[in-house]
Every structure is written in C-alpha cells, then in structure tokens.
Amino acid sequence: MCGIFGIVKEKEENLGKILIGAAERLTYRGYDSVGMATISGDKIDLRKDVGKVDTVAEKFNVAEMSGQRGITQLRWATFGAPSQVNAQPHLDSDGLMVGAHNGNVVNNIELREQFIAEGLTVRSENDGESCVHAVERYVKRGYETIDAIRLAYGDLAGDYAFVLGQINDDKLYAMKKGSGLVIGIGEGFTCLSSDLPSLLPLTRKIIRPKDGEIIILWADRVELRSVIDGKLIEREPELITETMDAVQKGGYPHFMLKEIHEQAQVAGELLHLLDGSAEVEILIEKMKSARHLYFIGCGTSYHAAMAGSVFLAQIAGRTAIPVLAPQFISQFAPAVGHEDVGIFVSQSGETKDVLNALNAAETRGMEAYGLANVVGSTLTQATSFCLPLCCGYEISVPATKTFTNQVITFLYLAYRMAGKDTKELDNIPALMEKTLEMVEEQVKEIAADINNWEDMYCLGYGATYPIALEGALKLKEITYAHCEGMLSTEFKHGPLSAVSDGFPIIFAAGPEDTNLIISGINEVNVRGARTIVVGEENASLRANADDLIVIPESNPYISSLLAVLPLQLLSYHMSVMRGYDPDFPRNLSKTLTVD
C-alpha cells in the first residue's frame, strides 16, 4: 500500500532507470498510480499518472529523467480518486519543493482548507500534497527547511512517512511517523524506501529510522534528528546479509505459486527456531498465568488466530479469544488489564488495524506479544517481543506461507502448553511436501470444472472451520468470485436455499469430524450441489462426495493445516485460468497501513 523511494547522488546524472527499478520493486504493495520527480539546480521534473509502472514510465519517457536527487511514489488511493492530479509526488505552490508520502494524513481535509485560506495553491485532494504544503507554510513564514519539517510533523495527524526535496539544495529530507521507512547508504549515494527489499539491489548498508525522527540525506552522509528538539541522533548502520533470491520468482510463473511451494521448507525452519527459542519459554509462562488470552489479527492472520484458539482449547484445555483487531478495541480493550495477555498476529507487522488494537491494549496495561514475518516492522518494535515467522519475503498479496507458519506457531504453543512432546510436529514439512504432490493435478482439473461459477461456499468444522474461512478468503481475493466461508453446520440455517444444480460447495473435513461433514454433504448433494471435499482417505467421504481431494494421514490438527494447501492451489489456478494476476489482485495491497 503506497510506497516511497528517494535517492541522492553527488551530481546530476540519469536517475530514470533507478526510479523505475525502485518503483517496480515496490509494486507488490499494491498501487493504482505512479510518479517520479527529479531535482537538479533550480529545476524539478515531475511525471506521474494513473496506471502500471511500465505504462506510465513509457508514456512519459521516465527512463530519460536525470537529476541529482530523485523521488518515486506508488499510490493506492485513499484521499482522492485515482487520477493524474492526485498521483504523487506533489509540488508546493510555487514549484520549489516536491514531496511524496506513504500512509494516511487523517486531518487532510481540515489542512487543505487551512492551506487554501493561507493562499497556498492546492491542486489535488490527496494527503501527500498536504505534507508538502505543511512544510511550505512554515518555509514561507521564514523557517529553515528542517524546522519547517519539524513543525509540519506536529500538524500532520495520522501515520505516514514522507520524503521531500527542494530546488537549489543538495539534500532530501524525510520524516517517519508510524509508516515503514528504511535508509540505504551506498557508494556515492544515499537512498530511502518504504521497505527493505526495494533497497537491497542498491545497497546492503542500512539504517532503520524510528517514529519521530527527521532524516536528512546527502550523497555521502545521513543525519537523523529528533522532531522534538532537532538534536542529532546517533545510529550505526547495519549490514544486511539476506540474498535477493528470495525476491525472485525462481522459475515459477507467479510469486504465489512459488510461495505455496516454499511452505514445507519454511515450516521446517520455523520448527527448528521454535525448538531453540528462549522467547517461546517466556511466552508459554505468560500464557499459562494469563487471566484472559487474546489472539488478535486481521484477514488471513485472524484465521490463523482462530486456528490457534481451537488448538489451545482442544490440545491444552485453555481458552484464547480470537478477535479481529478493530473489534478488539471496541469489545475487549475496555475490559483488559495487566493480568491479560494478547498475541498480535501480522505478516507485515504494519497493519494499521492491528497496531491500533495493540495501542488500545497497551494503554490498558495488557501484556502484548507478536507473531510477525517482517523483522524490524512496527509490531516487532512495539510489543514486548515478537516470534518471527521465518518465511523470508512473501511478495504475493495473498498470504500463503506466512499463514501456515502462523498456524504452526500456534500449534507448537498449544503442544507446549499441554506439556505434549512437539516431536510429532517435525513431520509437518514432509507432510506438506507430500500434500502438494498428491493434490496438484486433481486441483487443477477441479478448478477448470467450477471456474464458471461466481458464487460458492467453503465449509469446515472445528479445526477446519478457520481453514474454510481462509480458503474462502483466498478464493475471493484472487478470483474476484464470491466465496463464503462458514461453519458447516450453519449452512442449513439459511444458505442452503442458494443451492442449485452444480453449485460448488467445498468442505474441509477433519478426520474426527467426517460423520458431521457427511451429513452436510448429503444435505446439499440432494439439492444438486457439486461437493468437493478435502480430507484424509475415507470410504464414506469417497462414497458421498463428488470429488475427494486426499491429503496425507496425520492427526486432526496437522490435518487441518494440510487442508489449506489444496485450497490455496484451487484459488491460484482459478485466478490464472480467469486471466488474473494472483500476485497483485485489483484494489488490494500487501501492507494495509490505513484505518
């Protein structure tokens, strides 16, 4: 969701290709418009529009853009419709400054009214433009740029990161308030970006600024200053050792398929880490002594939290309340206290809804821990500690490997809470491999058969209920068809009336719930539904369902985890067959940093 990148060189040179490359690397976050600006001497060159990076770059010949400094921004519309004027970067009133932001300035409308009343030229409805005018208004009152930025920080409510350059200068300025920002230091240049992967092809020497810090980039040095008093902040750069292989497709047509096939490997790495983790021991003790336990997340991460809650009850006899992050604020936060423990679950560690819930929890003194994939993300810094999901980069917008590693982490915690030997879990990676081998061809055939339907259901029970919700979310997210996830027993309480001839209904059948699932199958079969069941080999399931997608035998908990793999594949193949790009579904973004 929105991404910014800026670079400072020693002297004017071609920056177009660097800006296009950086923008391409940010596309996985989701966007509808893109823009580039270069600055040299007293000139600002700004080119931007709605559309894909390559289309806009070709239309405006961005590759030829040169300058001593450059900025690119990918916009995912919140304030103002996707349009050329709302695309970023934005100029100040007189074309002396140019800037772009990532995030959400929540008092944008009020600020625009103030700027217009002060005589500034406001061209768009976009909050990125407000960031530029917020600095401009203080520069016009005679403040130095750095002080104007500090004052602007106080005026701009919300969570964002912002980069700004001005003519007749040699620096870029930036500030961070709630949204991701990473600085890169290279040979003869410095740069910054909304995320680390987009910097890695340029440099491995990085600094992670914190909220409330102003960043000044020269070609050969970087300064961090406190927004409160302008004082210099010392921070040593870190060296990143991760390879770039992780952000390539590695021979797969899409990141999603690659990431589905990486699940066994990252599950093995996670289990290894959990076995040796001192933090797991602390978390187990905290969970044991908690008055109430909450597992909090959004979207796919919430489904993992639900799975965790089922595991904890069934394996360890403990209650954990799984809750959607925004609902936690209204329904539970008012009643939590320091005796309660929350585990906040997020792939990105930047989801605003989750961070808002965390804030509400911490305000009440609740103990907060996290499960996050992006190390260094806001969630990892704002909780007592986060268990890492160890998935490497997940580029595809639909979460796959991070979901299975979230579920495995909860399963591991449930085993440990129950005092059960976790050795059995070491079979998971091999079982996942085997599942993919067993189901892939059959799933492709079923995808082709049901792909003309725009409406379907995905049902589960017990440990497979969250899996059914997750399967339905994947289908909706990348096929754009409607698929509702539901507890199988609820289907007869209303949705049954939707069933017509051939209507696809997918069941995730746990090995101990087959009788119940068979009742569900028969209820809809007699009304003409096409029933597709994911489950272990079972003669009754085979006799009753139209299709049985067989997964390897394990136990009910591992079985529920394995059941999600065919559902991920089903949604992937249906999406591709429909001609969509499953990695970048329309209107969506990988990292949702807005309310």
Query: Among candidates 66, 69, 4, which has minimal Cα distance to 33?
Result: 4
Residue 588 one-letter amino acid: L
Q: 70, 18 in Cβ contact below 8 A?
A: yes
Within a 10 A sphere around the Cβ of 358, how many other Cβ atoms? Answer: 25
Distance CA 190, CA 7 (A): 6
Q: Interacting stretch for ligand M6R, rule CB under 6 A, among 25-33, 395-403, 454-462, 540-548?
A: 395-403
Distance CA 449, CA 106 (A): 46
Among 34, 97, 152, 298, binds ligand M6R (CB under 6 A): 298
Q: Does 301 bind ligand M6R (CB under 6 A)?
A: yes
Considering only residues 211 through 240, tell me which ones interact with ligand M6R, judged by CB under 6 A: none
Q: Does 346 bind ligand M6R (CB under 6 A)?
A: yes
Closer Cβ to ligand M6R, 38 or 591, answer by number = 591
- Least Å distance between CB 17 and ligand M6R? 30
Q: Does 347 bind ligand M6R (CB under 6 A)?
A: yes
Among 32, 477, 513, 536, binds ligand M6R (CB under 6 A): 477
Q: 98, 144 in Cβ contact below 8 A?
A: no
Query: Among candidates 185, 246, 193, 181, which has minimal Cα distance to 22?
Result: 193
- Least Å distance between CB 13 and ligand M6R? 37
Q: Does 399 bind ligand M6R (CB under 6 A)?
A: yes
Query: Among candidates 355, 326, 358, 316, which has minimal Cα distance to 341?
Result: 358
Q: Does 488 bind ligand M6R (CB under 6 A)?
A: no
- DSSP secondary structure letter of residue 297: E
- Least Å distance between CB 257 and ligand M6R? 14
Q: Does 398 bind ligand M6R (CB under 6 A)?
A: yes
477 Cβ neighbours under 8 A, 6+ residues apart: 397, 398, 571, 585, 588
Q: Does 193 bind ligand M6R (CB under 6 A)?
A: no
Residue 263 one-letter amino acid: Q
Q: By three-state DSSP, how is residue 506 classified?
A: strand
Q: 97, 136 in Cβ contact below 8 A?
A: yes
From the candidates 2, 191, 458, 483, which is the catalytic residue? 2
Distance CA 401, CA 389 (A): 9
- Least Å distance between CB 287 and ligand M6R? 21
Burial call 520-554: b when 16+ CB within 10 Å, e when fewer: bbebbbeeebbbbbbbbebeebeebbbbbbbbbeb
For residue 252, report the phi and psi dihedrals to the nearest 5 degrees: -85, 150
Query: Among candidates 513, 563, 524, 566, which has minimal Cα distance to 546?
Result: 524
- Least Å distance between CB 333 and ligand M6R? 18
Q: Interacting stretch for ligand M6R, rule CB under 6 A, among 113-121, 397-405, 456-464, 546-554?
A: 397-405
Q: By three-state DSSP, how is residue 443 classified?
A: helix
The helix (run of H) or strand (run of E) holding residue 472 is helix 465-479
The CA-to-CA distance between both ends of the chain, in Å, stands at: 12
Q: Interacting stretch for ligand M6R, rule CB under 6 A, among 137-145, 298-306, 457-465, 536-544?
A: 298-306
- Least Å distance between CB 357 and ligand M6R? 11
Q: 510, 535 in Cβ contact below 8 A?
A: yes
Q: Which residue is nearest to ligand M6R (CB)?
A: 299
* Catalytic status, residue 590: yes
Closer Cβ to ligand M6R, 48 or 303, answer by number = 303
Q: Interacting stretch for ligand M6R, rule CB under 6 A, among 296-304, 327-335, 359-367, 521-529?
A: 296-304
- Least Å distance between CB 159 and ligand M6R? 14
Q: 4, 194 in Cβ contact below 8 A?
A: yes
Residue with tokens 């040699």: 170
Q: Interacting stretch for ligand M6R, rule CB under 6 A, among 137-145, 270-278, 392-400, 516-524?
A: 392-400
- Least Å distance between CB 240 and ligand M6R? 21
* Catalytic status, residue 391: no
Q: Does 348 bind ligand M6R (CB under 6 A)?
A: yes
- Least Å distance between CB 535 and ligand M6R? 23
Closer Cβ to ligand M6R, 139 or 592, answer by number = 592
Q: Interacting stretch for ligand M6R, rule CB under 6 A, among 122-130, 175-183, 271-279, 394-402?
A: 394-402
Distance CA 6, CA 153 (A): 19
In the structure encoding, which two tokens stand for residue 401, read together?
């490997």
Closer Cβ to ligand M6R, 190 or 589, answer by number = 589
- Least Å distance between CB 468 and ligand M6R? 15
Closer Cβ to ligand M6R, 145 or 347, answer by number = 347
Burial of 14 (0-12, 13-18, 19+ CB in 10 A): middle
Closer Cβ to ligand M6R, 202 or 387, answer by number = 387
Among 391, 592, 593, 594, binds ligand M6R (CB under 6 A): 592
Q: Does 354 bind ligand M6R (CB under 6 A)?
A: yes
Q: Does 397 bind ligand M6R (CB under 6 A)?
A: yes
Query: Among candidates 370, 465, 448, 473, which has minimal Cα distance to 413?
Result: 370
Q: Does 351 bind ligand M6R (CB under 6 A)?
A: yes
Closer Cβ to ligand M6R, 89 or 178, answer by number = 178
Within a 10 A sphere around the Cβ of 453, how many other Cβ atoms? Answer: 16
Q: Does 299 bind ligand M6R (CB under 6 A)?
A: yes
**Residues that bind ligand M6R in the complex, under the rule CB under 6 A:** 298-301, 346-348, 351, 354, 397-399, 473, 477, 592
User: Residues with catalytic annotation?
Assistant: 2, 590
